[in-house]
Amino acid sequence: DQQVKQNSPSLSVQEGRISILNCDYTNSMFDYFLWYKKYPAEGPTFLISISSIKDKNEDGRFTVFLNKSAKHLSLHIVPSQPGDSAVYFCAAIANFGNEKLTFGTGTRLTIIP
């Protein structure tokens, strides 16, 4: 049972344009959502997060939007840069950390110069 889903395995975006990565979840008990970024041959690194009590969180070029009624979140990167090329994992956690972190399958983002 895949509780966190990233339906787009890959995405290509022109440098300077907006990248939008999407994530859907099924568990209504999730109360914190995160995005991790992973370069080849490296471990994932935390990028940005959002609490279920908010609908938007912004950090520089990165903004995460949460639509609880649709059980959907998205990561916006603007403007996209070549260094943003990586695999992005959506993740969620429930019960204020008493449940384990659940990851999606990832989306490979390629920024075209």
Partner 1 sequence: EAEVAQSPRYKITEKSQAVAFWCDPISGHATLYWYRQILGQGPELLVQFQDESVVDDSQLPKDRFSAERLKGVDSTLKIQPAELGDSAMYLCASSPMAQATGELFFGEGSRLTVL
Q: Is 107 exposed, middle or buried (0-12, 13-18, 19+ CB in 10 A)?
A: buried
Count of residues that bind partner 1 according to CB under 8 A: 25
Selected binder of partner 1 within 10, 54, 58, 101 (CB under 8 A) = 101
Q: Does 104 bind partner 1 (CB under 8 A)?
A: yes
What is the amino acid identity at position 19? S
Q: Which of 13, 21, 34, 66 binds partner 1 (CB under 8 A)?
A: 34
Q: Applying CB under 8 A, does 1 fall inside the site for partner 1?
A: no
Token pair belonging to 69 = 């009624």
Annotate each residue in 52-81 with x if it binds partner 1 (CB under 8 A) or - if it does not, as one string.
------------------------------
CA distance 87 to 108: 4
Residue 91 forms beta bridges with which residues?
Answer: 34, 103
The residues with which 22 forms a beta bridge, in sequence order, are 74
- Binding residues for partner 1, per CB under 8 A? 4, 9, 32, 34, 41-46, 49, 51, 89, 91-93, 96-98, 100-101, 103-106
